Structure 1
Amino acid sequence: MWALRRASTPLRNQGYRVRTSYVFGKLEVPYFWEGNVAGFGTIATLSDRYISSERNNLATWPSSGIYISSHGLSSQAGAENSGEEDGFSELDETLPTTRSEIVDDDDNVVDDGTQNELDLLEGETELAEKKFTKWVPSELTKAIWNASGLSVSSALDKWVSEGNELSWDDISSTMMSLRRRRMFGKALQFSEWLEASGQLEFNENDYASRLDLIAKVQGLHKAESYIAKIPKSFQGEVMYRTLLANYVAANNVNKAEEVFNKMKDLEFPMTTFAYNQVLVLYKRNDRRKIADVLLLMEKENVKPSPFTYKILIDAKGLSKDISGMEQVVDTMKAEGIELDVFALCLLAKHYVSCGLKDKAKATLKEMEEINSKGSRWPCRLLLPLYGELEMEDEVRRLWEICEANPHIEECMAAIVAWGKLKNIHEAEKIFDKVVKTWPKKKISTKHYCTMIKVYGDCKMLTKGKELVNQMAESGYSIDPLAWDAVVKLYVEAGEVEKADTFLVKAVKKYEMRPLYCSYRTLMNHYARRGDVHNAEKIFYKMRQSGYGPWFNQFETLIQAYVNSKTPAYGMRERMMADKLFPNKALAGKLAQVDSFRKTALPDLLD
């Protein structure tokens, strides 16, 4: 079983020069998702169950052109049910892409920009507990934090000239802190300075870290071209694995498949991680192909990890296939893998979404029971789900556990929970505590956006606008994260046109790219109203911004034509030009808009 591991040999301080085999630690993926899976027969069982169940629930388009072999993956198929919200994108093994320093790049295309009430990426129990331990930033970390804009290099030169020495621990902890705070721009400058100043002798993992940062800050096209600049001896599996993960994070199906195929062509060892990335990709875009990936894993003798099972659980849940989801759990247990808090949280989330309240409640209680050490960190997962179930007593009970000395993540989870219960007073009280308790550097735009979203869900437009003004007056950047919150605030209040106008003005003023979900929010509402003109306008803007071609864009656009009872001329040809093909459900909608064209002449005669 593949897993990322830190170098076990401690570094020596060699003046200002540090040599290490893995300086930046956990950069490409959090390796805690990976683990041993007893036996390999599970793949055949999973794929059989997935095929039998999925084929019954998800329509297969006969001419989709899906091709999977031991050589590689390619696809001409569109997404299955891709219009649904991918509620657990943060379950992916890649590092999270939401950040306070929003730039115009190719990642973060599906994040909703708000504090997600089910943020599972922080890891297993041990890691989640460590997250809340007291950490004191080093002087090196502070120097980079305090550097303005593009002056990181100058700040570091000054720091060294003052007689400060670099150590492996300083470099590693500083890079990790920059990444955790989504300060990818400064992390990239730090990486460049380490190499240019000769402070660090780069190896494959260090180059892969640079590749990941370039993808996040400058875009994936820059990242891919960067590989050619790396010494040939370091252009290995880790490099392409990192590129693959970033294309998956960007939801770019064609490029992700291209990279996966290239890894096989170059005869790199195909790890569980690489296959898990492809599974995540198809979970979002075409769940019919998951069974084919599982069969390919079996053929290549690649063992599933616990994360593999979580992907399958989530895929089944998103498809509303509760029976299939529970079959995956049964297989997982049969292989001797215990369900951790995160797997149970996935189950509970999908039980809630399908209205199975009793099963959801039992699963939440099980989550609490397996927390044998008695730590409180699962509260941030449990609070929003209890709120969704309208269990006010449970929300209050958990919040009382945290209230005396809360962590900011618990506060955000409680705000979301009280928002779901429409208890604005409690949500506001906690938010005021956050603003007064934590320094400005600790609070980011996303924390304000959490509260703005609560106002939006409760259709409290005035209060939401007041909080936006307060955020701006406090010096927080009104970035695409904030734009998204404002767009949803207007839309929930029924002011769709105002939301549209606001987004146009924001783009023109700040010259940044909106989040994908901001466009989706507008397009979904225009489609529901049958407003073909504006739906097409948003479709065009999404393409202009680099979002697409994606199946769910066409799905929403076609729905606009259906609702307006307007013929959609050339829609099939438009999809085929983008190498997308309708599934059974969408083919039915296309037939409806075709029928409008057939009846157009008789209607004129009448």
Structure 2
Amino acid sequence: MQSLLRLINTRTRINTVRNGGASFLASYTTLPPSLLQSDPQWDHFASDPKSRPPSVHGLGHNMLTSRLERLPSDESVVSAFDGWMRDGFEVDRDGIFQALNCLRCRHLHSRALEVMEWVMRERPYKVTEHDYSHLLEFTIKCRGIAHAEKLFQTIPKSYQNEFLYNQIIISCLANRKNKNIKLSYTYMEKMRKMSLLISPFVYKSLITPHLTPSRRKNIPDILTQMKMDGVKPCISTFNNLLNMHAGNHDIDELSKVFDEMQMADVEPNENTYCILAKAYTMARLYTVAESYIEALERLNTGNNLGLLNTLIMLYGCLNKDKELDRTWKSVQQWPHVVPKSYLLAIEAFGKVGLVSNAEEIWAILRSIKKIDQTNEFNSILSVYCRYGIVEKAIVICKEMVANGCKPNAITYRHLTLGYLKAGRVTDAINTLKRGKYEQLTKKAMRSASWLESTLMVVEMFSQLGKLGKAEFVFKELKRSKYSRHTFVFNALLKGYVTARVYRHEENLLEWMISDGAKPDAETYRLLKLIRCP
């Protein structure tokens, strides 16, 4: 009886506002007929009465989300809502917002737009600016900015407030086309004329598309305008800037941004410390890196697998075998460990010299899943090649090909290092030549695994006096801007010393400084040895 009363009350409220809601949607677009029809026969749970949700509490909202997600593509959301209310449940704001979040995560944007159009038409609850913002968001994603602008004009003036303006700007910036970025500036100017406050998340969203090399020059102007608008940067804004400078291996700018962050009284989070720890580790500033790792350990509750994965990678780079083993045991306590964790652990144990541990983890990974990706084979390959165990490395390569995986640039780079470590220089040079024809993505070029193995190849060629090969590989480090670190340039200078190739000191210093590296005592010592007589 209570379920029946709830159904009657919900239907009565919907019918009361039906006409008002329909006129709103009709003012900006023509809805497809499927949205105006309902199918009383639809019910995902009709075949199994035991699977019906017992109440609207607890799992109620999840069950509504499940119905919307499993709805056939040719059926309207009307049938899902009809079935939901026929079971005696109400449609409330919490249930709608939870459903929208799930649909957004699954990129079912058109279905989410249908949900919001149904809400606006049927009005199961009193709508707010949050409902209109969701409607704008999914309209932009599904129908474009032109439809969204028309829709914005039809929204009641009382709802065209600061929140809604900020939301439409963020939605514009989610699509990083030039015209949408220009439109966001237009709406920001309107907000200034109306004395509306611009959200820090608007500027965070504005900076994100400008992180690309072609647009990066505009970031200082954006930050200046941010100060003029009196907007305090949020933690996400600072993290984006830190990540940009870390990717460029620009430690000076990285340090400046972090100082500005502290002056602004913005509390660092886990992502902040992860970015800093990785950047200083790659720069071989281990003491500074350890201080940020200690901060990460204080934040580590064992409930964040991403943080544990980062610690595994960092402990491997810092050669901390005890801390690495402890962290890996924490990861193993999780009910489901993702393959990425296994791959990071394999490489980390290899870096600290525990090859047997890396092999054990590799065996566990093979027992729980089929190894069918090149990067998975590359993880154990990097361990063998680091120590010149080329026999086992060749076996892994043969298994890789047998499983239908194609060796990539990182594969050949690891093999080149392995052959050099084993003293098979000719094989190393031939492998290097084969690898140069493989395409290398920007993401792979910036990865720690690629940079470390490439630097070790430069060091090995320099020790052997193979200056031409060392310079060839060094160019790749230059493209990734890793040559900004002094120790990378010094590795190449050692090749000049070993090969007894003399250069003018001024030319080498000018080359080094132009790349952003700062000469140190080791640099000047090497320059004296290769100075022209």
- TM-score band by shorter chain is 0.5 to 0.7
List aligned pairs for 1:42-121, cutoff 5 A: none
Q: After TM superposition, give the deviation of residue 228 of structure 1 in Å.
A: 0.7
- Equivalent of 2:72, from 134, 148, 160? 148
Q: After TM superposition, give the deviation of residue 143 of structure 1 in Å.
A: 1.7
- Equivalent of 2:441, from 521, 532, 538? 521
C-alpha contact (below 8 Å) 2:342/2:365 kept by paired residues: yes
After superposition, the Cα gap between the structure-2 partners of 1:252 and 1:350, relative to the gap in structure 1 and judged at 3 Å, is farther
- Equivalent of 2:289, from 360, 364, 373? 360
Which one-letter code corresponds to 2:441 in the other structure? T
Q: Distance in 1 between matches of 2:310 and 2:111?
A: 30
Backbone CA RMSD of aligned residues: 4.5
1:272 aligned onto 2:194: no
C-alpha contact (below 8 Å) 1:452/1:467 kept by paired residues: no
1:199-251 deviation digits (Å, cap 9, x = unpaired): 355443223213333444x3xx6244233134243555544534443454443
* SS of corresponding position for 1:15: helix
Q: After TM superposition, give the deviation of residue 394 of structure 1 in Å.
A: 3.8
Which one-letter code corresponds to 1:141 in the other structure? T
After superposition, the Cα gap between the structure-2 partners of 1:376 and 1:239, relative to the gap in structure 1 and judged at 3 Å, is closer
Q: Distance in 2 between matches of 1:156 and 1:181?
A: 20
Q: Distance in 2 between matches of 1:193 and 1:311?
A: 37
Q: Distance in 2 between matches of 1:279 and 1:334?
A: 20
Q: Distance in 2 between matches of 1:239 and 1:462?
A: 58
* SS of corresponding position for 1:251: coil
Q: After TM superposition, give the deviation of residue 161 of structure 1 in Å.
A: 3.0
Which one-letter code corresponds to 1:149 in the other structure? S
1:60-85 deviation digits (Å, cap 9, x = unpaired): xxxxxxxxxxxxxxxxxxxxxxxxxx
Identical counterparts, % of pairs? 20
C-alpha contact (below 8 Å) 2:172/2:183 kept by paired residues: no
After superposition, the Cα gap between the structure-2 partners of 1:301 and 1:467, relative to the gap in structure 1 and judged at 3 Å, is farther
Q: Distance in 2 between matches of 1:256 and 1:523?
A: 25
C-alpha contact (below 8 Å) 1:223/1:243 kept by paired residues: no
1:333-357 deviation digits (Å, cap 9, x = unpaired): 3444432222111111222343434
C-alpha contact (below 8 Å) 1:313/1:329 kept by paired residues: yes
Q: Distance in 1 between matches of 2:122 and 2:290?
A: 56
- Equivalent of 1:227, from 135, 144, 149? 149
Q: Distance in 1 between matches of 2:119 and 2:9?
A: 14
After superposition, the Cα gap between the structure-2 partners of 1:490 and 1:375, relative to the gap in structure 1 and judged at 3 Å, is closer
- Equivalent of 2:311, from 371, 382, 385? 382
Q: Distance in 2 between matches of 1:152 and 1:302?
A: 43
1:343 aligned onto 2:263: no
Q: What residue number does 2:31 align with? A: none
- Equivalent of 1:172, from 88, 93, 97? 97
1:506-533 deviation digits (Å, cap 9, x = unpaired): xxxxxxxxxxxx99839999xxxxxxxx
- Equivalent of 1:211, from 136, 156, 168? 136
C-alpha contact (below 8 Å) 1:297/1:303 kept by paired residues: yes
List aligned pairs for 1:529-568, cutoff 5 A: none
- Equivalent of 2:10, from 15, 20, 37? 15
Q: After TM superposition, give the deviation of residue 368 of structure 1 in Å.
A: 0.3
1:160 aligned onto 2:85: yes
Q: Distance in 2 between matches of 1:362 and 1:523?
A: 27
1:239-287 deviation digits (Å, cap 9, x = unpaired): 4534443454443345313322332135343222222222223233433
C-alpha contact (below 8 Å) 1:211/1:223 kept by paired residues: no
Which one-letter code corresponds to 1:143 in the other structure? R
Q: Distance in 2 between matches of 1:180 and 1:292?
A: 33
C-alpha contact (below 8 Å) 1:253/1:281 kept by paired residues: no
Q: After TM superposition, give the deviation of residue 295 of structure 1 in Å.
A: 2.0
C-alpha contact (below 8 Å) 1:306/1:337 kept by paired residues: yes
After superposition, the Cα gap between the structure-2 partners of 1:188 and 1:384, relative to the gap in structure 1 and judged at 3 Å, is farther
- Equivalent of 1:404, from 316, 333, 350? 333
Q: Distance in 2 between matches of 1:360 and 1:236?
A: 45
C-alpha contact (below 8 Å) 2:242/2:257 kept by paired residues: yes
Q: What residue number does 1:282 align with? A: 210
1:327 aligned onto 2:256: yes
Count, aligned residues: 344
Q: After TM superposition, give the deviation of residue 322 of structure 1 in Å.
A: 0.9
After superposition, the Cα gap between the structure-2 partners of 1:142 and 1:335, relative to the gap in structure 1 and judged at 3 Å, is closer
C-alpha contact (below 8 Å) 2:174/2:205 kept by paired residues: no
Q: What residue number does 2:184 align with? A: 259
* SS of corresponding position for 1:138: helix
Q: Which has the higher helix share?
A: 2
C-alpha contact (below 8 Å) 1:461/1:490 kept by paired residues: no
1:293 aligned onto 2:222: yes
Q: Distance in 2 between matches of 1:176 and 1:313?
A: 28
| Structure 1: runs of 5+ lacking an equivalent | 1-12, 20-133, 436-447, 469-485, 495-517, 526-555, 560-584, 589-606
After superposition, the Cα gap between the structure-2 partners of 1:152 and 1:244, relative to the gap in structure 1 and judged at 3 Å, is same
Which one-letter code corresponds to 1:414 in the other structure? S
After superposition, the Cα gap between the structure-2 partners of 1:136 and 1:271, relative to the gap in structure 1 and judged at 3 Å, is same
C-alpha contact (below 8 Å) 1:395/1:417 kept by paired residues: no
Q: What residue number does 1:48 align with? A: none
Q: What residue number does 1:550 align with? A: none
Which one-letter code corresponds to 2:144 in the other structure? K
Q: What residue number does 1:70 align with? A: none
TM (normalized to structure 2)?
Answer: 0.52
After superposition, the Cα gap between the structure-2 partners of 1:432 and 1:360, relative to the gap in structure 1 and judged at 3 Å, is farther
Q: After TM superposition, give the deviation of residue 428 of structure 1 in Å.
A: 6.5
* SS of corresponding position for 2:91: coil
Larger RCO (alpha carbons 8 Å, 6+ apart): 1
Q: What residue number does 1:429 align with? A: 364
| Structure 2: runs of 5+ lacking an equivalent | 1-7, 17-57, 351-357, 382-395, 413-437, 446-475, 480-510, 515-533
Which one-letter code corresponds to 2:75 in the other structure? S
C-alpha contact (below 8 Å) 2:241/2:257 kept by paired residues: yes
1:530-575 deviation digits (Å, cap 9, x = unpaired): xxxxxxxxxxxxxxxxxxxxxxxxxx9xx9xxxxxxxxxxxxxxxx
* SS of corresponding position for 2:130: helix
* SS of corresponding position for 2:212: helix
